[in-house]
Each structure stands twice: as structure tokens, then as C-alpha cells.
Structure 1
Amino acid sequence: MPGFDLNIAKEMVESFAAASGLGCRLLDDQGNILSQAGLTDDECTYLRSLPGQAPVCRDLHAHGLHEAQRFGGRYIYSCAAGFAYCSSPILTEGVFAGGLVAGPVIISDIEDCMDDIILQWDLPAQRVRALYLFLSSIPQVATDRLRHLSNQLFAAAVYISDSSYAFFLNHSGYRQQCDIGEYVQQAKGLQGDVTYPIETEQAMLAAVSQGDSTTASALLNELLGHIFFLSRDATAVQTYVTELVVLLSRAAINGGVAVEQAMEISHRYLQEIKSLTAQEEVASCLNRALTRFADLVFELLGTKHKNVIREAIGYMSAHCARALPLAEVADYVGYSPSHFSKVFKEEMGCGFRAYLNQLRVERSRVLLLSSNLSISEICERCGFEDPSYHCKVFKKLIGVTPDKYRKQSRRIDAQLEYGG
């Protein structure tokens, strides 16, 4: 017996099939079908009727569910005939108890799918028309839509599972696997050969050398998604990951970390990675190494931040009268946008946008008192694109609207001039 409510699970299978237009199966932890809906034709039965070696669909879907558990709860895969499926595991008390499988779908043209099946099974000409009719009954789905459907299937699996799923969803390692799994699926959807994204690697190393662990970690997950997709075995993964550790240590040295310290940390993580076999363990270890290197750089850069923020404020003051995106100021001081935003808030106690509004409001106060420009003209000269937003921000910071502020100030001036 499954460790989850079978009636609720069957209801979710029927609901998903009705809403998506796809077939949906509920499997136990051995890959046996417990329930299914939305399947007008059994593709596995049809394929087994073809000459040659029959595909073992049960093993395929069981493997797909285990891969989904490894990669954050979602996995898209293909069978021998080229049909695509998506799967999500069901957990009870943190243990794999079965899962949902949606499909089949065709993500290429029917003609291409026909050619592959005819070639693979050496199908005689008299069976081609029957094959076409069978393939016409299978939904054709674009890759992007299949990813969205995979997310919906995942939500259904979480609903069926017990509360232990919440632990995995909030666990940092599990979230990392979600991100990596998403990049694996994106790589599968790319047309043509998938190549290693060297630009992403360079951006990650640049983030480490700036002490920006948040940006670097996100880019690392993208790299790992490609590495796991491109690598055929554990040895290939080890080769990629070992090189990344060395590159991370060099990036830390470029950021100011002492060579001896960087080499010692690099050696320690390389030794740990050699003892690991599971991809999720390797990914977690590599992320810890990256965070360690980036944090060391960040600590060293702490004394430099004050000068950088001083330069940024000077630039903002000089250019606040026009549209001024955060990315432009970050580029001016040589930081990535995300890193600059983080450092600015830590040093100034408020965000970039809030401080920019303070500069603009102060500028508008001066113009309200020293000129006869209209409120709308002052709004434009102070960098506010919308008068209503200018009024809202001004009132929030000063306590009154721009118009009322000007009238009050002029009344006070008049009283002083004529002695009250």
C-alpha cells in the first residue's frame, strides 16, 4: 500500500489530465501503475507491438521519477520512440513513495517522429499509415509549455505528499537541485548541439572576485546544469568540477585573497570532492567552496566599500535630474548591479531607489523655493517622470505636497518681510 492518500492522488491524476489535455499516471515506488487518466491510446502497448526489442516503459518511468527527486521535484525525459514525459515524485515522511508521470507528448513534428520510429524499428511500408494515425492521437506540445506543465504536475505531487515535502522545498541543497534541474531541462530544449557556456563561467568567476556570492551561486547552478547534461559519467563530472575549484581559487586570488590561503582551501575541497559520487553532494560541496572564496573576498573589500559608495553618491547627485538606472551607477564604480545594490544598502541603510528619491526631493525643494517654475517643470528637472509619483514621494519625505510646501514657505517669507 502507498504511504499517501490514494483517493486524493487519483483525484489529482484526473484533474491534471482534464486540465492539461495530457495523459497522467500515478505510479508506486516500484513503477507499477496505480491509476491513470486521459490516455486514449496506450503508447507502450503500441510500441511493444512493433518488431524488434520491446521498450521497458515501467523501468523508464521509474527512473524518471527518481531523477525528478534528485533534481528538485521536476524531470522531463524521452522514451525510445522520442515521446516526451514529465515526472514528479511523491514523498511521505521524506521517503520516495511513488509519483506522477504526464505524457506522452511530441515536441517535434509528427513527420520527424515517424521517421525516427520507422528507422529504429525498421517498420514495413504497410504499417506507416497506422503509425501516422497513432501519432496523430498524441498531443504536440512546445518545449516551453511542457516546462509549465511540469511545474503544474509538481504542484499536484506536492499536494499529494505529506508535510515532509516542505522541509525539502526549504532546504538550501534541495533548492540548488531545483535550479540545476531547471537548467538541465533548458539544455534539453535547445536546438542542435549544447556547448559548455564559457561566458557564464567567466561571469561567475568575476562575481567571486568581487565578493558577490549570491550572483556567483546562481551562475554556478547554471553551469552545473550544463555539466550534468553534457557529462556521460561520474568521471567527466569530476573533471569539470575539479577544474572549477581551481578556477574559483584563482578568482579569489584576483580578488585579493592570499595565495597560500586560497590554495589551502582549494586543496581541502578538492579532497572532499574526490570522495563524493552523488551529483547532489558534488554540487553542494562546490557551492560551499564558491561561497567560502567569495566571502573571503567580500571581507577584504569591506574597507574599499566606503570609497566606492562615496563615488556612487557623487555620480548620483550629478545625474539625478535624469533617468538613472542602478546598473549605470554600478557600472560607473565597477561593480555588478546585484553586488552594488547589496553593498549600497549595507553602507547607506536604505536601497538605491530610496536614496535617489531623497536626492531628487531635496533638489525639488530648492527649485520650489528659488524659482517660479511650475510643479510639473520641477518634476521633470528633478528626474521624476510622473508628477503624481513626484507628489507622493515628496509628501512621504517632507510631510506635505510640493504645492503646499511652496505656499507655506512663501507665507512664512512674507510674514518675516512685513514683520508678521
Structure 2
Amino acid sequence: MPKRNIESFLDPQYLEEILASFSKATGLHIEAVNRKGETLAILGNKSRSDFCQFIRSHSKGEKKCLDSYKEATLESAKWNEPYFFRCHAGLIIWAVPIIVDSVFLGSIICGQVLLWKPDEFFLQQLKKSNSKNMDFDTLQQKVKELPISSPEQSQAAADMLFVVVNHLVKRNIHTMEEENAYHLERLQIKADLENRKKKNAAEFTDYGTYLKNERRFLSYIRLGDKTRAESTLKNLLTDLLTKTAGDKATIKIRVLELASLSSRAAVEGGADAEQVMVKLQDFNNEINSIERIEEFFFKVHKVIGEFLDGIFKLADKKHLSLVNNARNFIMENYHKPLTLKATADHLFISPSHLSRLFRLELDCTFNDYLTRVRVEKAVELMKKPEFSVEQVSKAIGFKSQSYFAEVFRKYIGVTPLIYKNSLF
């Protein structure tokens, strides 16, 4: 695991925003310190008390404060919870550890309060623990200005701070994970481009080719074919990067279009429309606030994966495997006189069980799914001038051209002949 420290892990601006608000709400002093007890930042507008500043103005006092912070920080990490301690000057302070993946980075120090009004015993101990050269009359006066917090109030504040710090840790872990994902996406883009060069693959040169591949990609989404969809998406994005020469504005537009088209294809494939639209809106909001190309690609991969997952909301892994295997068998044999029984026999399950799985998991019958695959394949073949409507009908497994025309019209909205004529 790469070496980490608190300075590189926590976002200073976000840390200030969150903990400054905590300081204002509680009236407590807060500091971020590293493993050595060294103060990295005093958060919020609440500076150290006059008492603490006076103590630290002497070299020995500064050293004792540092030692107190270091000991408290180490103890809080040992127990992974708020650690209360009395500093050398008698103040009550607590430390909340910052631990990431079992690595201790530092702590948030809070407090600098008294639990009750300073009495004669407290003053005697204070005088004994500090330098003889220190002006004790001034120190005694500053003690009276210290805030007093009951044990209950201090514990509640410590518990609340623990929750806040854990939120900061989880947020930053998520940010780091995303940065790693962006880095991997960047490496993948570079690898794809290098592979094309090595294979002397023809460069993508026109949007006609891109749109043709895009239609194939959307077809895979409608059919819930995640493997082919993800593979085609990777090629689409590499094509887009090549065509635009890395122009971020154009890539952003195309990526937003692709996500929108994919959302509709997912709904057509059986995903819940409300959930898909919510995910699409969240995606659009995210895309509008980012600038790096690898982030565009990572985000669109992620949201389209979620769309595809929405088509298969399977609770049982065994069911997932069976349905996926049935779907793959259909994709490979759609042009044959395929039946529910033949597919069930291939999977070594009963036809009734397979029929039940299709209804339960895909919200359609076996024949509905088979027909959907055949129509999608018909649309692809229609784009080839050398294929007549009759040839297309036979190629996708229909014995009757008239029945093919009826089914095609039901799914596409026009007859095969009208559709084909519209293409040329």
C-alpha cells in the first residue's frame, strides 16, 4: 500500500468547512495533528485560548504541549475511539483518531476546557507543573477565563466529533478510490490506442461508422447482453477519442448523448424507467462538473453498467447464471427453430422452470425474448443492401415472411419493406 500521511489524505478546504462548523456550534477549540502530535491546522475561527497561548509562549511549555498531543494521539489510535486526557497544564482535551485501512495518520484534537471551576488544589498543581520563570499571577488570571464544560457535555461533543471524523475518512476513501479508478481508465485508454497501432487497425474516421457501432451497442443493451455491451462501449469511446482528437467539449456532448440513448435502451430491455431516469439525472449533474476525459469515460461506463444491472435484478446467483446462460444460448442459436424445451434441455432444467425464470427475472416469456433478439438481428441485416426482406426473414429463423412482417411491425412500427426502403 502506498505511504500515506494526514496531509495528503484530508482535503484541507473540506476539513475546514466541516470542522469549523463543529467548532462554531460547540464553542470548542479544534486542531488537526499528525502522528507526532504536531499541529497541522487550527480549524475555524476559534484560536487557542489565551491560557494555552501563554503556556506555549515558553519553550518548555511548548514541548510539554507537543508531548501531550503525541501521547493522546497514540492512545486514541490504540483504542480507535475518543481519548480523554488531562494535559500537563491541567486542561481537559480529547483526541479522535484518523485511521485509514488500518493505517494511523493522526488525530483531531478538541477541548481545552475545565470540568469545574479551578480550586486551590488545581492552582497548586498548575504552579508545580510549569516553569518557575513563568509569570504565575498572569497565568492564574488567564485560568479564570477558561470555558467550563460538564463531563456529559464533553462526552457528547467527543462522540459527535468521532462521527464527523469518520464521515471525513469515508468521504476521502471514496475520493481516493475514484482517483484510482480514473487512473486505471487513463491507462486503459492508452493501452487501447497502443493496441490499435500495433495491429495496424484502420483508424476510425467518420461518424457514420461510429453511429453504426452505436446502434449495435444499444441493441446489446436492449437484449441485456452486458459482456458485448461493455466491449462495444470500450471501442466506441476509443473511436470517439480518436475522432475528436481529445476535444473535451465534443467528448462531453457525445458522452451525454450516449448515456441518454443507453437509458432508453435499458428501459426497453426491461429496466425500471423511474430508477433509470434518476440515475441518468445524477450522471448528467456529475458530468457537467468534471473536466478530465478519463472521468467522462469512467462515469459513462459506471452508469451504463447500472442500467444493465437494472435489467437483471436477480436475487439468487443460481438464477442469474441460468438466465444468462439461456440468453447466451438464444443469442448463438436464434436463427434456428429454437424452442423453450431445446433451451431448457441445453441447461439441464425443466421447461417450466426456465419459463418461470424468464417471467420472474426478465418480466417476459421465453418467446418474447427470442423474438426481441430476432428483430434486433433483423434490423442489423436490413442495413445490408445485398439482403432482401425474404432473406433476412429466413436468416433470423422465421419460416413465414408474412409472420416476420407482422412481428417486425409490432416491434419497430413499420413493415420490414418500408423500413428497408427508408435506409437506401
* Higher Rg of the two aligned structures: 2
TM-score by length of structure 1 reads 0.35
Structure with higher RCO (Cα < 8 A, 6+ apart): 1
